[in-house]
Amino acid sequence: MLMGTVGCGINLIVFTRKNLRKNPCSIYFIAYNVANIGFIYALLLSATMEEGYNIDVSIQSLIICRLRLYTGILFDVLSPFYLILASIDRILVTSQDALVRQKSTRRLALLSVISGTLFWTLFQSHALVLTNIIQVGPNLFVCYFQPGVYLDFFTFYAILKQFVFFLLMITCGVWSIKNIRNLRRVRIVPDLSASRTVVENSSQATAKKDRQMILMLLIDIIISALFSFVYAIYLLYLQITQNYNKTTDRTEIEDRIGYLCLFCIGIPYCGLPRYRRQGLGQSAMEQSLNAARTGSWSHNIQASGSMNNFKNYQYGGQIGVGIPIYNRGYNKPSVGLGAAMSGGHASYNGQRFAAKPEWGVGVGVKIPFGRG
């Protein structure tokens, strides 16, 4: 949860910057990270409190119970929905047809996010009515969907949703990769006016920021599709074997697998920030890993410059800082946060120039294996 909050928070800071928020894909990523934060605190937080500390607030009030399940299933569907919208936008951007590329606009992105959010908000409203606090044993209550036809419907709906979203994300991802490969092909176009050939590389039409977003989107699609598909298979198995006579050992094994699948569901929502500037992102990651490993602050300062005379010179520098966030000692899991920033100034024949400051962030995690 901590990693997810930090990662989504950093992503929101990056994508709301002035030079990025005008990009249509940034709007989808902003909505995607907001939905991830909503899912973390609507479902993962309550599940952690319930399983880890035996604290379940949802069984104390019917209103809290219904709001918890409603917000949980709402953000669970909004997150992959925004990811699919971003994938469609990348398909438009990487198209060879100029008219198709022009359809990727900020207005279309805002309209898609708003209309899609309203649709899913209304579509999932059944959870505000058909959920209840159910007694499953002596002095044992759970907040869950009403048993019977509605529970069967919701189970089939959850399975269908996972499979459909999985197929859509894989299809959009493969389509984007296909378009990128087509853009990278070098075409030889005859220039009749000069009786020569001009080598045109279509990949130059895709901006650097768009290429970074495409790569980041593909990573998100792979992670989300794989872990969501695991839970879909588990739900399908439970539906098929619901009328089987199961031993106590088999039931316990299924419960453990269920907890593992629920953990897998949370992984796509707790991703780390992936958008970074070249070079500085690596430096920030190194500082975060150093802080996680040592449990103390780390830093790195670099400077360089040259000078011919007072009218011709250049100088610049870079600084990186790492902060330990979580460290319980030797051979224990630890987390560190790092940041790096660079800038420079120059003068050519008395005319001064200042490079725009660049920065990068990173989160490092150390997970020891074994006791050595």
Match 């920021």 to its residue by tokens: 209
Q: Is 59 exposed, middle or buried (0-12, 13-18, 19+ CB in 10 A)?
A: middle
The predicted pLDDT at position 283 comes to: 63
Domain count, the chain: 1
Within a domain: residue 349?
no
The CATH number covering residue 237 comes to: 1.20.1070.10
**Considering just the CA atoms, what is the radius of gyration of the chain in Å?**
25
Residue 205: pLDDT band (50, 70, 90) is very low
Q: Is 106 exposed, middle or buried (0-12, 13-18, 19+ CB in 10 A)?
A: middle
pLDDT digits (tens, 9 = 90+) for 85-129: 998 998 888 888 888 888 889 999 999 999 999 999 999 999 899
The predicted pLDDT at position 70 comes to: 92
pLDDT digits (tens, 9 = 90+) for 3-34: 778 778 878 887 888 777 778 888 998 999 99
pLDDT digits (tens, 9 = 90+) for 333-370: 777 777 777 777 777 777 776 766 776 776 666 666 44
Within a domain: residue 372?
no
Within a domain: residue 346?
no
Match 């490092």 to its residue by tokens: 364
Bridge partners, 187 (sequence order): 200
Which residues are CB-contacts of 371 (< 8 A; sequence separation ≥ 6)? 331
Residue 278 in this model has a pLDDT that exceeds 80: no
Distance between CA atoms of 104 and 88, rounded to whole angstroms? 9
Residue 169 in this model has a pLDDT that exceeds 80: yes
Within a domain: residue 295?
no
Within a domain: residue 136?
yes
Stronger pLDDT, 151 or 285, i.e. the higher one = 151
Within a domain: residue 71?
yes
**Is 20 strand, coil or helix?**
coil
pLDDT digits (tens, 9 = 90+) for 154-165: 888 888 888 888
Within a domain: residue 366?
no
Q: Is 318 exposed, middle or buried (0-12, 13-18, 19+ CB in 10 A)?
A: buried
Quote the domain boundaries for residue 118.
1-186+207-270
Residue pair 362/287 in contact (Cβ under 8 Å)? The answer is: yes
Distance between CA atoms of 162 and 170, rounded to whole angstroms? 12
Within a domain: residue 58?
yes
